[in-house]
Each structure stands twice: as C-alpha cells, then as structure tokens.
Structure 1
Amino acid sequence: MRFPLALTAKIAAYIIGKKLKGVAKFATVLQLEPLHTCNLTCTGCGRIREYSTSLKNVMPLADCLGAAEECGAPMVSICGGEPLIYPEIEALVGGLLAQKRIVYVCTNAMFMRKKMRAYLAALFARDPQRAEDKLQVLLSEELITAKDAEEIRKGPKDPAAPVIAPTQWMYWNVHLDGLERTHDLIVEREGVFKEAVLAMRMAKIIGYQVATNTTVYKETEVREIEDLFAYLSTLGLDGHTIAPGYEYDAAKADMVKRLGIAPENFFLTRKMTIEKFAKIEEWGEKFPIFGTPVYLEFLAGKRDLTCSAWAIPTRNVRGWKGPCYLMTDGHYTSYNELLAKTNWDKIGVVDGVARDPRCENCMMNCGYEPTAALGINGKSGDTWKNIKFNFGKKPLGTPNADVQAFDGVTAGDGHLTGKNAAPARKPAEAVS
C-alpha cells in the first residue's frame, strides 16, 4: 500500500462518514502555517513577501490545535515558513498526534538533524542500549559526529521537554525541487540539497517515515525529475508528492521586485504543465507517488477536474486564508466563515475557461487533488481506480545509484545570478 493501512482506513472512514451525513463541503487536509518566518528565500515562494509585516508573529499553540479541531481534517500539514523554527513545534506535533491526526511536517530539512538528535537524547535516557545501537549506525554513516554522540549520551537538557519521535502517524515531508544544482538554485543557498539528503538518511535509520515534496518549474527538465526519483529510491523513502509551479500573485510580485525576473520565464502555463507531466502516470507506477491516479491523469492532460480548494484550507497567523492556499482575498475568523463567504463557483477552471483569471494556469494538488479523491464530477470506475492505486502494492521505485545527484553547486544566491551564469563546479562526491 502507498499509505499504511491504518492511515488509509482513517481517511476513508472520515470521507465516507461525511458523505453519509450529506456534508457538501468539508476539510480533508489542513494546511497549518504557525509562522511565516523562514531561513531560506526560495524563488517561486511569495510567503515572506506577502506576510512581510507579520513575519515575527506566531500562532499560539492553543490556536494551532484549535484550528485542527475546528475543521476536523484527519490530516494536518504543518508548513510555513519553516515549521521547525516554530518555538513549540514539538508540542504542536505531539498535540496533533494526541488528536489522532495524521501529521506531515513540511520542512527544508536544515534543522531536521538537530530535532532528531534531541529525540535520541530523550531515547537514551529511557532506553540506553536501543539509543546506542542507533548512534553506532549513525556514526558509521557519518551522519553525526563523535561530539554529537557524546552530547546525546548525556540525555536531554530538560527531561520534561517534548520531542518529535518516530510514529506511523507522522511524516517528515522534505522539500526537494530537483537534484543538487537545481534545488540549491531555487532555494537560493548552497548546501541545502546535501543537508536534506543527510537528514533523510538519518531519519530512516532512526525509524521515521519520510516523504518528499517537489514543485516543477519551467526550467526543470523531465529527465531530472526521473533522475531525482531514481536517486531517492536508493534512500528507501516512503513516498513523494509532486505538483506544477503556479504563478500566484505574491510569488510573482517577489520575483519581479527582488530578483528582476519575468514570472513567465519561471512558472508553468497549463500547456507546459501537461507537457512536463506527460509521463506522470508511468512515474506513479514506478515510484511511490502519493495521491490518486485521477489527479495524475489530470496533470497529464487526459481529463478535466474542477477545483475543490475548500477541502484543503489554510490557517495561519492572520486567520483562515481564502480562497485557497496560494490566492489571498482575505482572512476569516473560522473555517465555517471561509466556507460561507467564499464564492466557490468563481474559483478554478471549468471546460478550459478560468472562472478567475488568477486560476488560469493552476493545476496544483491543493485544489485539484481533493476533487479526484472525493470523486467530484468523476467518471464511472474512478472510485475503483483510486482504491486499486492506493491499496495495491507499493512501488519500491527504480533505484539508480549512478544518478549524479550531486551535480554541482550554484553561486549561492540562486536566480540573482541565473542558472547559466556560470558553469557548474566539479560535482561533489555522492553521499554513500
């Protein structure tokens, strides 16, 4: 199965329950942004610019947990900003798990190893032998230093402090937009891809579930996407999410003002998306891609779907963001107010015509994946197709250790210099 049985059963039971009760619109995934502060300035992300006046603000822990209770979504994606900067991230993850939510921590991975060392210190205090066994493997793989190991053996500085522990109900969801050169270019910092790989390897040794999240842009070559998945297959990861880069207003404004780049040179149109994702169904058969085959067919241009952005609402420091994760017309005080005050008939693309001009090139999973999963305006056989896809045997990927994942670095400041401003340096040694 692409998801563990317990997770799949939980989501299915929730959706069936809502449909039996005749609920027309309900949340399936909550996009929770407890803060917008970030340690990176990714090209294509407009969050820092859009929320520039509230970057120092954070959602109180009680509000974060209350948002999950309010909308009732079985899955919560903790994003941002960089969620591992959130001062109470451990308590937030623990609180959501206590609510019986499925939790995704969407991270650039720069602080992952620090958080996992904290978990190991807590583990050492209660089960020294088990922790020591993990430490020896991590030392042999050079994923921690001898100094790190000594600090871990001292136990936690505060035994009462919560940590993020491995569980089948939580995933690290690591942002990777390509192999080393492309990814470091997009996140505008050297070394991020390498650190993400180290963190994912460490996480799998400890016992965490790990997924990746990839956004495809105009400059991303199809071959590189395939190579990325083939390389990630060597790490034994649990799944991948992939979506096309969308030209939402805040990202375009940041790109023009900060980088002096024409957005049309970076983001995908619908036509380009279909071209880039022509092989997405094939990838879904080979690699553990999360989602539904119906959405993959949509990305490949084989069918139309309407937008169901109400099913993946966003709650952040200013309230419930509407109408969707990427477009902002306002912030509401409750999920019900968001549902009631948004004219959902004016969102998305229907029969090739954009209801809102801002939606023209959007094929993002935050709007169209729930349509596929919920069977909205579906076709005969879609339900069985989705069941077969998600309950069938999980693809193990096609591991290819020969992929040059570490294919050179950028000048360190991303699109301020441009992808082709200088030749790639000698490729770094691949991390074994």
Structure 2
Amino acid sequence: MKRIITFLFFFGIMPLSAQVTLQKTTKDNDLKLSALPYYNYGKGLGITSPDSIFQFNIRFRVQNRATYLQEEGEESAIDGQIRRLRLRFDGYVGDPRFIYAIQLSFAPGDVGEVKEGENLNIIRDAVVFYRPTKHWNIGFGQTKLPGNRQRVNSSGALQLSDRTINNAKFNIDRDFGFQLHNQHEAIDKFSYNLRSAITMGEGRNSTDEPDNGLAYTGKFELYPFGAFTKDGAYFEGDLKRETTPKLMLSGAYQFNNKARRTGGQLGNDLFEKRDMQSLFLDGMVKYNGWAFMAAYMQRFAKDPITVNPEDATDIEYIFTGNGMDYQLSYLFPSNYELIGRFSKQKANSDIAVLAPDAKQYSIGFTKYVWEHAFKAQLEFTLDELSYFDNTSKQNWYIRFQVEMGI
C-alpha cells in the first residue's frame, strides 16, 4: 500500500514540474513525438481517413555496413551485415490528442540471439500518448526513457556508425511504464523541457515474474538562446547551419530499485537484485556548420558483484564507474562532414579486476545526400584497453556504412 501511495503521489505532483510533448503538423502527415525523436526528412507514407477519425503513417530505415577489424593478438577479420532494419508506424485514433507509436526491428543485431526461455526483441516501441495541450504529453507503454542525449537521439541521426563506449555501458535504454513530459520550446527565447518516467526497470519486452521494484527517471533540458532549428537537438551535426549560436544543457537521473540485470534495463541477469543509480549530464553547441557535444555518465551501486550460489566461480556484476565523451564536427557547404570523437571510461575500484578502463578515438567522414535520411559514412576507430595488472590492448576497425530511410 505504501508503494501504491508513493506511485500516485509522484504522478499527482508531476504536472507541477514535468513534461512530455507531441505536436501534429498541418503540412504533412508527420507527428513530432518528444519521447520518440525519430529523424524525419520528408513526409513518409501517410493515410488519413476522410472523416479524420484516424491517421496512419509508415516509415522504414535500413543501415548496411562493412567493417575491417583488427584486435590485438587476433587474426584480422571482415564483417558485413544489416546493422538495423526497422519499421515505424504512428498516428492517432478517434482524436488527434490520442496518439500511438510503434517501432519494430528485424536485423539480427537489433533482435539479438535467440535464447531458450527468453523473449524475442522485435518490439522496440509500442506506446500510446494523450496530449491534453500543446505542452503536455502523458505516455503509457514501452519506449525510450529520458536518458542521455545521444541515446535519446535516433540511431539514424548519428554522425558516426555507433554510439560511444559510454552509451554501451551506462545507457538506460527502453522500459515499460508511464511517462510525463512538459515542453516549452521557442526559437528566439529561453526554452526548457522537463521529462519524467515511472517504469518497471526491467527493460524492453520483459515478462519476468513481477516484483515490487520500479525505476524512477527525471530529466531537464535548457536552451538558453532558444531551441535549435527544426528540432536540431535531436540529430547530430549542424545540418541546418544555425545562423546564431545555439546551446543545450541537460541532466538526467534514474534510481532503479531492485534491478535484476547488470545494466538495469540491459545486460545479463544478476544472481541477486541490486539497487542502482545513473547520472547523465550533456551539452551541445551548434553554429554555422560547427557542432560540439560533451557528455558525462556515471552509475552507482552498492555491492555490484553477485555470485552464483551453486558455483562461486560464476559471477555477474554491475558496471559501476564513469565516462566522458567529446565530439566535434564541421559540415562543409557541399554537405560533406568531418567528425572527431574521443571517449574515456573508468571502472570503479570494486570491479577493477573484472573490467578494464577504456579510451576510444574515432574519425569519421560523411556525405549527406538527404540529410540523415540518406547518407554514406566512413569511419576509423581505435580502442585502448587498460587492465588491472597493468597490461593493455589496442583494437581498431575501419567501417563503411550506408543509411537510407523515409
């Protein structure tokens, strides 16, 4: 009963401080979904009933890539794969204030390996929203949590082929539950967004036995000089060539009570449940083709190592530690772009024997045909791993990727 009262209290006071936003455009069949910041170029394929009782939009995107890899001490390898293949559907039913959004994934890297007793991960997003006013959105279902900036952005709106090593370790990804967003954005004046969520804490498509542990997430976003052009905070690079400097500052925090997995919403199952906390700080600047981003991520957990009670050599642990990302780019008038990125990651002392510290260096070159919707990317990445016993290892790869979608 105490937890139920806490739950209701949280949502009762949230309208005073939080937010979710959806805006229906009138010029095309598109929806702006603040909790689902897909990158859009053009109208996609849309159907609206003659009586305007329902609207149905469909989009797709595909990422094909080829990679040459060299890991220290190993034979070189060549990999070619469909990294992402996704279908997205959105629209409204009965009234434009009642909105749905669905995203399905079909590529092996998205769905993951089929394991006995585990669910397929075809469903990425399945969420319904109620939008009582232009500033408020209330969501229920499975979708992205309001976490760090690069993770909230669509993978189709990245400047490099993948997110950073810190995103891989610390991000809170997707979850099932309630979200509440409040959005106040204007191009020419100070703007802000507030977002919150109460979710199951188990990640997407989880059907584990129910428990009484939930995840609580909150986020703020500040735009001191006004919002970015065409929702530019939701895609990397200054594709709109901002005519005045634009700045975004944001912070997010999550407490995941009785988490079952090593990464909260992601990772392997722990042998014992643990409470964990995640902190995210982000900054983004864009001006006249230049774009700079910086991010800090950190995870806390007490007693992060769990041991199989039937085999003391079998362990699962929470990656506790912190990391920083820095990314700088310039878009030439010809729509060619040069990108540089540096990331560093440090494991906490309590897991240092199990997890190395890491640094990652990336240089990328992108040609935008239709902005992020159709682009070709070439990338070189070097990883440096430093282990507890003072040994180190270097791995690198060269990758070519083409992204296309509507």
TM-score tier after normalising by the smaller chain length: under 0.3
Q: Which is strand-richer, 1 or 2?
A: 2
The one of the two structures with greater contact order (alpha-carbon pairs below 8 A, sep at least 6) is: 1
TM-score by length of 2: 0.28
Q: Which is helix-richer, 1 or 2?
A: 1
